[in-house]
């Protein structure tokens, strides 16, 4: 297992990443106002420039291979074609939302977003030009989204200390996190049909059973740790990224852990995801780098189809 780090053009704002339609990683750089296309060999394959001070951040791919990006600072969603060319821009109907996170629903069409600045979670169907907005409690600051069991959408509430859920009928439910002021960050669906998330201030990763509403927290043994992104590999291992210090943990299904120390000085880990080559790829916000750790997983297109 090895690690590879690739320095990017620097301002200190390398944020979200997704496997793009071309097999490269598409990476948002918020303060640089652009999205980069980065190969697994470490080369920048293309750059999409956004308007100045637009703040591109959340990013995901729809069923056609079009990539959607939030413009957090200008309150809009932007659609890019498979080459990275902007083809449409959709201003949000909710003023001052500050769209932060973005996820495509399991129908492959609907674009979900979190309004970090005004406590909203919304969806947009580009086929019908239809918007839906869910307003949360005044103390909520929703940031990240994940597709969960039964096609429900789950999201973290950074300052509300809750995990939210919107089902396919549009019903909202929220789950209070046991640790106070834990500041939940990233969320992903995974083992046993549970939804897993990180706690920046709770120094823990946790899992939510959507059927019972029970949340189980798993503490890190790293003093002063702040956690960031998380995702699963093809073996069911959970990879947990630290915002501070520069660490990444591999958590096996039995919850035993292997730890990897990053060589970057003050990296400020942000997001991690299973990449096009089967490795776990991650961003380092402060250092403006993209890195990977090999897992032994084959690339997604080489994996056998699941059996019934």
- Tens of pLDDT along the chain (308 residues) come to 456 677 787 888 999 999 999 999 999 999 999 999 999 988 899 999 999 999 999 999 999 999 999 999 999 999 999 999 999 999 999 999 999 999 999 999 999 999 999 999 999 999 999 999 999 999 999 999 999 999 999 999 999 999 999 999 999 999 999 999 999 999 999 988 999 999 999 999 999 999 999 999 999 999 999 999 999 999 999 999 999 999 999 999 999 999 999 988 889 999 999 999 999 999 999 989 999 999 999 888 787 764 43
Cα–Cα distance for residue pair 58/69, rounded to 1 Å: 5
Residue 18 lies in a domain: yes
What is the DSSP-derived secondary structure letter of residue 200?
A: T
Q: Residue 259: which CATH number?
A: 2.130.10.10
Q: Measuring CA to CA, which residue among 23, 15, 74 is closest to residue 46?
A: 23
Cα–Cα distance for residue pair 170/168, rounded to 1 Å: 5
Residue 127 lies in a domain: yes
Residue 306 lies in a domain: no
Residue 304 lies in a domain: no
Residue 258 lies in a domain: yes
Residue 307 lies in a domain: no
DSSP helix/strand/coil, 287: coil
Cα distance from N-terminal residue to C-terminal residue, the chain: 32
Residue 251 lies in a domain: yes
pTM for the whole structure? 0.95
Cα–Cα distance for residue pair 83/295, rounded to 1 Å: 29
Residue 92 has, within 13 A of its CA and on its CB side, a CA count of: 32
Question: Which domain does 108 fall in, by range?
Answer: 3-298
> In the chain, how many domains are there?
1
Q: Measuring CA to CA, which residue among 165, 162, 161, 184 is closest to residue 173?
A: 165
Residue 165 has, within 13 A of its CA and on its CB side, a CA count of: 21
Q: Are 279 and 266 in contact (CB under 8 A)?
A: no
Residue 21 lies in a domain: yes
∠ CA(198), CA(65), CA(144), 5° rounding?
A: 20
């Amino acid at each position: 297992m090895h690690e590879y780090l690739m320095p990017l053009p620097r301002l200190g704002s390398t944020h979200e990443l997704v496997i793009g339609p071309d097999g490269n990683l598409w990476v948002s750089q918020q303060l640089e106002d652009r999205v980069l296309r980065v190969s697994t060999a470490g080369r920048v394959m293309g750059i999409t420039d956004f308007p100045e001070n637009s703040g591109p951040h959340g990013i995901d791919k729809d069923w056609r291979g079009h990539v959607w990006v939030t413009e957090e600072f200008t309150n809009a969603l932007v659609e890019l074609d498979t080459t990275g060319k902007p083809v449409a821009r959709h201003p949000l109907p909710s003023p001052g939302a500050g769209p932060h996170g973005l996820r495509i629903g399991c129908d492959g069409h609907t674009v979900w977003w979190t309004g970090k600045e005004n406590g909203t979670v919304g969806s947009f169907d580009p086929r019908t030009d239809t918007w839906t907005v869910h307003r949360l409690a005044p103390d909520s600051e929703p940031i990240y989204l994940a597709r969960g069991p039964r096609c429900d959408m789950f999201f973290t509430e950074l300052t509300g200390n809750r995990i939210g859920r919107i089902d396919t009928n549009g019903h909202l439910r929220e789950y209070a996190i046991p640790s106070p002021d834990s500041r939940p960050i990233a969320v992903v669906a995974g083992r046993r049909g549970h939804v897993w998330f990180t706690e920046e201030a709770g120094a823990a990763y946790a899992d939510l059973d959507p059927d019972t509403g029970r949340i189980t927290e798993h503490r890190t043994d790293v003093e002063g740790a702040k956690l960031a992104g998380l995702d699963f590999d093809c073996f069911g291992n959970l990879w947990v990224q630290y915002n501070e210090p520069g660490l990444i943990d591999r958590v096996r299904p039995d919850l035993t852990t292997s730890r990897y120390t990053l060589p970057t000085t003050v990296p400020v880990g942000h997001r991690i995801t299973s990449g096009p080559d089967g490795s776990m790829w991650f961003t380092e916000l402060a250092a403006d780098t993209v890195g990977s750790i090999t897992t032994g997983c084959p690339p997604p297109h080489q994996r056998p189809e699941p059996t019934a």
